Amino acid sequence: MNNRDDYFELVKHYPKFFHNPPGAGFEILLDEESISQAENSAARKLQNAGAPAEWARVGVAFRDQYLLILRDAVRYTNGSVGTYIRMAFPPVPGVVILPLWRGQVVLIRHFRHATRTWHLEIPRGFGTDADARKSANRELEEEIGASGIRLTELGTMYPDTGASNAVVALFQAEISSYGKPDEMEAITEIIPTPVSEFERMIGDCELDDGYLLAAYARAKARNLL
């Protein structure tokens, strides 16, 4: 199966990934003639810039068990055509949880492969269940050994609308206890932090994880901190 065959299998099984709502700023083109026109237009621009023409090929650009990258043929708002790349994820939300223990925010020290450095974060992870509350409970149990969990929903957010369809469910959680960090996830420390200190760290840019900042903003706006 080549990447174009795989692409049209996705069109069949995940039509929402390829939906064009009324007035869509980037219309996805799915007929072969339009796809060829879009590829040729993008290839000319790439070649003029000294880049490989194959970067214009529509289809599945990359796929493994974690990540799916698509390159679509699109019509732009000015009527021209070309290609546009994006990441696509199944419609199961990831989760981010702002845990509170005895009135303190529970931070974790986490080494991240992508940035090659340590970050102070809050628990989060891929969704494994359509019920985001189940995923949130699982992440708290796995990452910090939490028990006595009481979740408050904080709505959803899209962490990168320019490149991905990924959606994340935000929660605040009251926990009665926590245990050991999940060393297999490169979490080395659990740090209960007074809310005043937590907010100072945000203001002084000591906390730089976008998911943490989003959960904090929602909780603060709802007067939960």
Residues 122 and 184 both lie in one domain: yes
C-alpha–C-alpha distance, residues 207 and 20, integer Å:
38
Average pLDDT, the chain: 95
User: How many domains is the chain partitioned into structurally?
Assistant: 2
For strands 94-101 and 124-125, give the pairing.
antiparallel
Residues 120 and 184 both lie in one domain: yes
Give whole-number Cα distances, 95 to 47, 88, 91, 106, 155, in Å: 41, 17, 13, 16, 10
Domain, as residue range, for 25: 3-87
**Those residues with Cβ within 8 angstroms of residue 69's Cβ, 6 or more apart along the chain or in another chain:** 60, 61, 62, 63, 85, 86, 87, 88
Residues 137 and 187 both lie in one domain: yes
Q: Which residues pair with 165 in a beta bridge?
A: none
Using alpha carbons, select from 115, 106, 163 the residue that is nearest to residue 140.
106
pLDDT in tens, 206-215: 999 999 999 9
Domain endpoint, select from 87, 112, 136: 87
Using the predicted structure, report yes or no on whether residue 53 has a pLDDT greater than 50.
yes
C-alpha–C-alpha distance, residues 5 and 73, integer Å:
15
- The CA R_g of the chain, rounded to the nearest whole Å, is 21
Query: pTM of the predicted model, to two decimals?
Result: 0.91
Using alpha carbons, select from 116, 114, 169, 177 the residue that is nearest to residue 149.
177
Residues 108 and 77 both lie in one domain: no
Residues 194 and 120 both lie in one domain: yes
Q: Read off the pLDDT of each residue in 154-183 and give the average, rounded to a whole number.
A: 96
Lowest mean pLDDT among 22-31, 75-84, 97-106, 123-132: 123-132
Residues 62 and 102 both lie in one domain: no
Taking the alpha carbons at both ends of the chain, their separation in whole angstroms is 52
Residues 76 and 98 both lie in one domain: no
Residues 43 and 110 both lie in one domain: no
Residues 216 and 107 both lie in one domain: yes
Q: Which structure tokens are listed for 80?
A: 């021209």
User: What is the reported pLDDT for 87?
Assistant: 95
Using the predicted structure, report yes or no on whether residue 2 has a pLDDT greater than 70.
no
Q: Read off the pLDDT of each residue in 102-121 and give the average, rounded to a whole number.
A: 97
Neighbouring C-beta atoms of residue 134, cutoff 10 Å: 13
Residues 100 and 79 both lie in one domain: no
C-alpha–C-alpha distance, residues 84 and 42, integer Å:
9
Domain endpoint, select from 87, 109, 137: 87
Using the predicted structure, report yes or no on whether residue 1 has a pLDDT greater than 80.
no
DSSP category for residue 147: B
pLDDT in tens, 170-225: 999 999 999 999 988 999 999 999 999 999 999 999 999 999 999 999 999 999 99
Domain endpoint, select from 87, 120, 135: 87
The domain that holds 207 is classified in CATH as 3.90.79.10
Residues 167 and 202 both lie in one domain: yes
Residues 106 and 160 both lie in one domain: yes
Give whole-number Cα distances, 166 to 59, 129, 213, in Å: 19, 15, 17
Using the predicted structure, report yes or no on whether residue 73 has a pLDDT greater than 70.
yes
User: What is the reported pLDDT for 130?
Assistant: 85
User: What is the reported pLDDT for 176?
Assistant: 98
